[in-house]
Structure 1
Amino acid sequence: MAEFLRIYEENPNPREIDKVVAILKRGGLIIYPTDTVYGLGCDITNIKALERVARIKGVKLEKSNFSFICHDLSNLSDYVKQIDTSVFKLLKRNLPGAYTFILPGSKNLPNPFKKKKTVGIRVPDNNIALEIVKALGNPIISTSIHDDDEIIEYTTDPELIFEKWANKVDAVIDGGYGDNIPSTVVDLSTDEPVIVREGKGDLEIF
């Protein structure tokens, strides 16, 4: 049974953040808030945890399109090939924010993702997610949790999320009601930005 942890976004309690990090370090899965929808995630360096997430999502890990949640752009070069100045400026201007940017992957990607040519990078505008990644010391992967309801695509109530996911994950973080609009996905791996999915982020900037 998962732990249900209440964390306030305005001022995340370091003790609660440390609890989440301990769960991640031992290979646990968490459901956590972002600036868009609630996400399912794990430590990017833990292969068994990554495999668990892939199983839950019903995908092969090597072919999965999980985003990497980063604290800022400082460890971008660990996972992304060198990008030109204009792309970096675009990232810097819009992150943290409700975007997933697809960038060319580097040779340093974790083993299961070695063959991937691109990687989705997220720096959400949410203190809980950012503090978790900062305290962990490396990114976590993220994939949106979808609702079975045909009308409501994403569950926004943490208590309902907990009811549904308590036996599948190790912790559900209650960071208040989530949004039900996912991030805007922008492919920056080619010469011109391509909007792959229209979401919460402003499209005017592209």
Structure 2
Amino acid sequence: MAEFIKIYEDNPNPKEINRVVNVLRKEGLVIYPTDTVYGLGCDITNSRALEKLARIKGIKLAKANWSFLCADLSNLSDYVRQIDTATFKILKRALPGPYTFILPGNNNLPKDFKKKKTVGIRVPDNSIAIALVNALGHPIVSTSIRDDDDVLEYTTDPELIYEKWEKIVDVVVDGGYGGNVGSTIIDLSEGYPTVVREGKGSLDIL
């Protein structure tokens, strides 16, 4: 049965943040708020947790296209090949914010992602998500709990999320009501922006 942990976005309690991070470190799956829809994630370095996440989503881990949730752009060089100035300026304008940027991956990707040519990078404008990544010390692999063609209340109300997911995940963070519009996805892997999905983020940053 999942834990249900209340955390306030305007002042995330470090003790509660550490409770969630301890679960992430023990192969746990966690649902947490972002600046768009609630996310489902695990520790980027934990193969068993990643396998569990893939099973829940009904896909093979090798085929999964999940985002790396980062606290800021300082993690980029860990996973992304060197990017040009124009690309970096777009990232600086947009982040933190409701965007996922697809960027060229490098050779330092964790072992479960070694074959990936690109990675999706997220830096959400949500203090709970950022605090979790900072306390963990590296990115969280993140996917949305929302079905692409289904916008329902159980994906925005933390108590309803808990009812649906309590037997599947290890922690549901109650960070208040979430949104039901996903992030805007922009592919920058070829050196110029291609909009893959228009979501919450404005295209004015391009």
TM-score range, shorter chain: over 0.9
Letter in 2 for 1:140: I
Greater mean alpha carbon deviation, residues 33-42 or residues 151-160: 151-160
Matched, 1:189 2:193: no
Letter in 1 for 2:48: K
Q: Is the partner of 2:42 in helix, strand or coil?
A: strand
Contact 1:32/1:174 (8 A) holds in 2? yes
Tell me the equivalent position of 1:48. 48
Tell me how far apart the structure 1 counterparts of residues 59 and 87 of structure 2 sit (CA, whole Å).
30
Tell me how far apart the structure 2 counterparts of residues 25 and 13 of structure 1 sit (CA, whole Å).
19
Tell me how far apart the structure 1 counterparts of residues 164 and 21 of structure 2 sit (CA, whole Å).
22
Matched, 1:136 2:123: no
Tell me how far apart the structure 2 counterparts of residues 17 and 109 of structure 1 sit (CA, whole Å).
26
Contact 2:105/2:118 (8 A) holds in 1? yes
Contact 2:146/2:180 (8 A) holds in 1? no
Question: CA RMSD of the aligned region, Å?
Answer: 1.5
Quote the offset at 1:153 in angstroms: 8.4
Inter-CA distance 150–9: structure 2 relative to 1 (3 Å threshold): closer
Tell me the equivalent position of 1:198. 198
Tell me the equivalent position of 2:169. 169
Inter-CA distance 180–86: structure 2 relative to 1 (3 Å threshold): same
Tell me how far apart the structure 1 counterparts of residues 8 and 204 of structure 2 sit (CA, whole Å).
31
Q: Is the partner of 2:78 in helix, strand or coil?
A: helix
Tell me how far apart the structure 2 counterparts of residues 90 and 18 of structure 1 sit (CA, whole Å).
32
Matched, 1:23 2:35: no
What is the CA deviation profile of residues 97-130 of structure 1, one whole-angstrom value per residue up to 9, with x for unaligned ones? 0000000001111111111100000000000000
Q: Is the partner of 1:115 in helix, strand or coil?
A: coil
Contact 1:147/1:154 (8 A) holds in 2? no
Tell me how far apart the structure 2 counterparts of residues 192 and 149 of structure 1 sit (CA, whole Å).
29
Tell me the equivalent position of 1:82. 82
Quote the offset at 1:147 in angstroms: 4.9
Contact 1:102/1:189 (8 A) holds in 2? yes
Contact 2:67/2:143 (8 A) holds in 1? yes
Tell me how far apart the structure 2 counterparts of residues 13 and 46 of structure 1 sit (CA, whole Å).
25
Tell me how far apart the structure 1 counterparts of residues 69 and 165 of structure 2 sit (CA, whole Å).
21
Contact 1:96/1:124 (8 A) holds in 2? yes
Tell me the equivalent position of 2:10. 10
Tell me how far apart the structure 1 counterparts of residues 157 and 149 of structure 2 sit (CA, whole Å).
14
Tell me the equivalent position of 1:110. 110
Tell me how far apart the structure 1 counterparts of residues 44 and 139 of structure 2 sit (CA, whole Å).
6
Letter in 2 for 1:146: R
Tell me how far apart the structure 2 counterparts of residues 197 and 150 of structure 1 sit (CA, whole Å).
16
Q: How many residues align?
A: 206
Unaligned runs of at least 5 residues, structure 1: none
Q: Is the partner of 2:121 in helix, strand or coil?
A: strand
Matched, 1:32 2:32: yes
Tell me how far apart the structure 1 counterparts of residues 151 and 102 of structure 2 sit (CA, whole Å).
28
Quote the offset at 1:205 in angstroms: 2.2
Q: Is the partner of 1:74 in helix, strand or coil?
A: helix
**TM-score in terms of structure 2 length:** 0.97
